[in-house]
Structure 1
């Protein structure tokens, strides 16, 4: 598959990922959030396992992979989706989408902490800009100055624990197919959250069954397309164009989450949302290393061009 087709697939995938914030918001406003999340993750896991089965890529994890797999599942999936679903019951989808846009930047920050890397000036400035964007969104997201909403904090917590989980997943992915790893983690997370829901939402299953007819289309769009296939597509794209190039498209996720909130939930786009979006995207481009990579590539081209001219003259 050529590069342009990969880029097009990534753009479509970001549409579904961005819209998924609104999908989840609609779901948790109608049925118990933890119960709904456990079933959504289970459907996503089944979807990925079916595709892996058809391509004969399913295998049982090795002994040394279980620890990282459970750790990654409990952080990047269980805790992430738990705090996201709870947070969305108390904040807007637009605020949540912009806060989630800090994901790549937080991942880079944690890698500095765990792998003892020293941030560059551009990276540090990127983190400051991204943080300013989130702060602006949280404080002025309603169109006027307000205190920190608990839902906003829970959404931020969801992206923080997900970024932490990526560190563990990176360890497991060295010996295990990343798509297979995702399938197992989704399955583990769905089972874990189901038992959590039995404690937190004793009548959650009954309420979910009663409310399901009103959300079944959105539920399956979220579970199958956004959570299941979406993760597979992104992992495939990483293998084709590289993690650095694929991560650039995550900025579109933030944009489409804002558009989705306006389209599906009729949430108004305030000036704070627009300014916050610009600051967050700029911060991610600078803080994730994308800008520095682009600068290095341009310098390399400038060095190679005179050399190619000299070679042609000879």
Structure 2
């Protein structure tokens, strides 16, 4: 027990789309590792020559516990220029990190952004990190949550993720919402150290359905789900109109907001936290965090990309891993 407690936290970082900013953001973030995360060691998964070229300095950084796990590119990568030949390379980095986390080699994984189109163009159906992590870990339900930073950060979780808007209503169910709330409640306790999480829940329709005049999902699905969740001891009030919920007077006592679909909650969160926010996948048997932005192809290789979100994602991964180990 004492040996396990003394072992440094092992954090894996996938460097994502090689034509994007992931490789350079990883290097920039890890230059702060000695001061910010002295009790962690990092394994960076990616092509060694690519990482050295994009780091802008000697790599790894002297005095930092960083190992590069070399995974060769299929073809040379140019900043800002996507190449489907490297789609399977990107997926291979993610597979290696997942396998390492499931086996216990890694305490958490941090993922740099990838380009979904590149993987699909490589002949692999791919919706996104969240869905792929669920499939690879055989997890029936996961929850995407984005979060800001600070003493009481804004956190927004999603009842549905990457769906066309026309399919959202059919994807909502009483059982599904109860399971989603249970996952959020459990992981906020287990990985974030919150003793009694308070989760505010939005409606689906404008004005939360206006008593059925603007839709019945609040009456037929969301309210029954919240009643069942509260009977299980989950503090989940709602449903609230999404257009007025995101105000300080409502959020000041909240630990998370559960929004019904992707673009209902995330524009607000990204407006408030972009560049410093993170993406967390709840409900997995492993810990995974990520940046809150995409591959930024226009910034790749320019040295102008901001590593703030990557730093925050590593911060969160280390913190969550500590809570898990202490449990």
Q: TM-score, normalised by structure 2?
A: 0.27
Whose strand fraction is larger, Structure 1's or Structure 2's?
2
Whose helix fraction is larger, Structure 1's or Structure 2's?
1
Q: TM-score, normalised by structure 1?
A: 0.27
Q: Higher RCO, 1 or 2 (CA under 8 Å, sep at least 6)? A: 1
